[in-house]
A and B are shown apart, each in its own frame.
Chain A
Amino acid sequence: MIKVSQQKIDEDKFMEMRKEVIAAWPTLKEIDLEEAVAYQKSLPDSKVFYKELQRMGAEHRTVNFPRAGTPILEDEIELVRSINALGVTCTPLTTDSYTRNGMFEKAQQGLEESIKTGKPKLNGYPIVNHGLKNNRKLVESVDGCLDPRCSAIANSQVAEMAFASGMNGMPCSFFAWFSGYDKKATVAELLTTAQYMGRLMGYYAERGVIINADCHGFLPNSVYPGSINIATQIICALNVITQGAKCVMPQVNLQGCLAQDLGDLRAAPRLFKKYLEKLGYNDIIIPGIVGSQVPLFPYPQDVGSAFGYSCYTAMVAALGKCPIAFVKTIDEALGVPSLEAHEQTYKATNWIFNVVRQQNFPIDNDVIQQEENLTFNEVSQILDKVLEMGDGDICAGAVKAMETGVIDSPFPINMHAKDEVVGIRDLNGACRYLEFGNLPFSEDIKDFHRAKVAQRAAAERREMNYYVSLEDFWAISKGQLIGKPSK
């Protein structure tokens, strides 16, 4: 059993850990941290992730935050440039699944076959195999900044390579890996991996280079309230902040109920601030919130529904004043997005951003406030319990909370998760808890959810259960928010 705590790793120990990380593939040994810091400092503000985000906020703008990853360097440059042309300046760089799993030999084979055949044989960009020279060529050949995506196993290697290559934003969410990417690792193991990245961000921060940590939290794999996700984002943020990271970016998952989505967008930054201050951190930059598209994308592939859904996300992100929005492309249901689909999708969402966000329209009413307060209270109850379980140590508490189901969510990939929580929509389409598992909510909160579920059961004259939850899961594919019985 690994014992975890929020104590900062001292630099000597970090350097020892680092030796093992960079031994994984020859290209990593080319990295010289001092030279990498100097390279980062030489980049213009437009290539600094958090500054770009702050600029969007100041200019009342929302821009797309798409994914873009294809194995061949020239194709990747072309792909990023083509989305740059659509106003995208912060581009998540998708690494391929072999890279994410530390299978660099397989990634090398896939890269070589891709180059040989001219066709992508990997589902992303193998950043470690490409090495500093290619990656810096990519950074210098495109507008704005890149934000590579990885999962637990190779996260330390991808972070080392990315930061040294001039990229300065990256997800830090061990709960995302736990729920969506890693079947066997324990939370303690994943948290430790994220700490390495936090410590690397701390190393750069101590030398004047601020790297943004995207916080994703427990992945919203199904229809259920956002409180678990936001609570786990804050734990992920504190995990890297205690290691020296100075900039964290919340994300709010927009699920289709306007009041709830806008309520969550208001609650998230308040909650981040509350718990950062509670642990004594008053100098952390929160450059803006990402509005992110979940849950199941309309399926099967249908261009009309896909546009409708993507434009909903764009609309809420714009009304919620997010600087960036993570909107999937209209061919999401088919697999890895094409260039053409990127263009069509982002022209549509840009139309909304340009028209709606520019108006800086004030949004407020009782229904939104009710959802905001509910999320605020739920997240606070979860985090207070986590801190209590860790005797004030957020990391130790997170491990215990996960083991006992105090943190839990539907459909996690990881075999250590309880998977006892079930979500369902109420009559207004808001996500509620149908089964709470061991989530640490007060009876008041539980009663609120029960009442909302009971209202729907009465209106539809049927029992609310797992299969109704699955109907809700598929509803968006049918152009609805609330599931209906299949005939």
Chain B
Amino acid sequence: MKEKITIITGTVGVDSHVIGTKIISRFLREKGFNVVALGAQTPAEEFIKVAQETDADAVFMSSIYGMAEMDLQGFKEKVTEAGLNDVLFYIGGILGVMKHDWKEDEEKFKKLGFDRVYPPEADIESALEDLKTDLKAKGKM
């Protein structure tokens, strides 16, 4: 059990779509979490660095511009290298360029090291329920 759960939020790569991550950050803060909001245009490495520095429990990553796959090349290896295997990594948004199959996105991003992958229409309430389940499974909540 941890006294306060720390969550890192932000939009990965050079994606500038900031509204979603701002709303998520405010929502999680109001639900009592310690939120470290990195905002838009956050390199994948910065998520890892800040997660180490803040002893984070979860990372809520957003991407809307379709290029997340390129931004997250080798992400799983970097997470392992940084000793962050116990941190929950969630990603959501529009995860590919042009029309594409959502199931493929999910598989692709799970291989890149994400615990949960959300389509763009996912709502934050359900992600919060998932988070609680996952944190309980890790004995952190």
A: residues with CB less than 8 A from B are 97-98, 100-101, 103, 106, 110, 120-123, 151, 180-183, 221-222, 299-300, 331, 333-336, 338, 411-413, 415, 466, 470
Contacts and interface: CB of A to CB of B under 8 A. Distances in A.
A155 to B, nearest CB: 14
Contact of B18 (A97, A122, A338, A413): A413
Contacts, number: 64
20 contacts: A97-B14, A97-B67, A101-B14, A106-B70, A122-B67, A182-B16, A182-B41, A221-B19, A222-B19, A333-B120, A335-B94, A335-B97, A335-B98, A335-B99, A336-B98, A338-B98, A411-B18, A413-B16, A415-B39, A470-B23
Nearest 5 Cβ contacts at the A-B interface: A300-B121, A413-B18, A183-B41, A413-B40, A101-B14
Contact of A123 (B97, B99, B120, B121): B97
Given A97-B14, A97-B15, A121-B70, 12 more contacts: A180-B16, A183-B40, A183-B41, A221-B19, A222-B19, A299-B120, A299-B121, A300-B120, A336-B66, A338-B99, A411-B22, A470-B23
A122 B71 CA distance: 12
A413 B39 contact: yes
A466 B19 CA distance: 13
Contacts of A335: 66, 94, 96-99
A415 B22 CA distance: 12
Contacts of A470: 23
A120 to B, nearest CB: 6
A105 B23 CA distance: 34
B70 A110 contact: yes
B65 interface: yes
Contacts of B39: 183, 413, 415
Contacts of A333: 120
A151 B70 CA distance: 20
A195 B70 CA distance: 33
A411 B14 CA distance: 17
Interface in B15-40: 15-16, 18-19, 22-23, 26, 39-40
Contacts of B26: 466
Nearest to A97: B14
A71 B66 CA distance: 14
Interface string B49-69: 000000000000000011100
Nearest to A113: B70
Contacts of A411: 18-19, 22
Nearest to B10: A183
Contacts of B41: 182-183, 413
Contacts of B99: 331, 334-335, 338
Nearest to A101: B14
Contacts of B16: 151, 180-183, 413
A35 B15 CA distance: 36
Contacts of A299: 120-121
Contacts of B98: 120, 335-336, 338
A103 B96 CA distance: 20
A124 to B, nearest CB: 10
A331 B98 CA distance: 9
B14 A336 contact: no
Contacts of B96: 335
Nearest to A71: B97
A164 B82 CA distance: 47
Contacts of B66: 123, 335-336
Contact of B67 (A123, A221, A412): A123
A98 B14 contact: yes
Interface in B99-141: 99, 120-121
B72 to A, nearest CB: 14
A334 B121 CA distance: 10
Interface centre among A103, A110, A335 (most CB of B within 10 A): A335
Interface centre among A331, A336, A466 (most CB of B within 10 A): A336
Contacts of B18: 221, 411-413
Contacts of A151: 16
A28 B87 CA distance: 45
Nearest to A419: B22
A121 B22 contact: no
Nearest to A103: B14
A97 B70 CA distance: 12
Interface in B65-92: 65-67, 70
Interface centre among B18, B39, B120 (most CB of A within 10 A): B18
Nearest to B23: A470
Contacts of A182: 16, 41
A470 B27 CA distance: 12
A183 B41 CA distance: 7
A57 B94 CA distance: 38
A336 B40 contact: no
A96 B74 CA distance: 22
Contacts of B22: 411
Contacts of A331: 99
Nearest to B96: A335
A399 to B, nearest CB: 21
A98 B15 CA distance: 10
A221 B23 CA distance: 13
B38 to A, nearest CB: 9
Contacts of B19: 221-222, 411
Contacts of A180: 16
Nearest to A180: B16
Contacts of B120: 299-300, 333
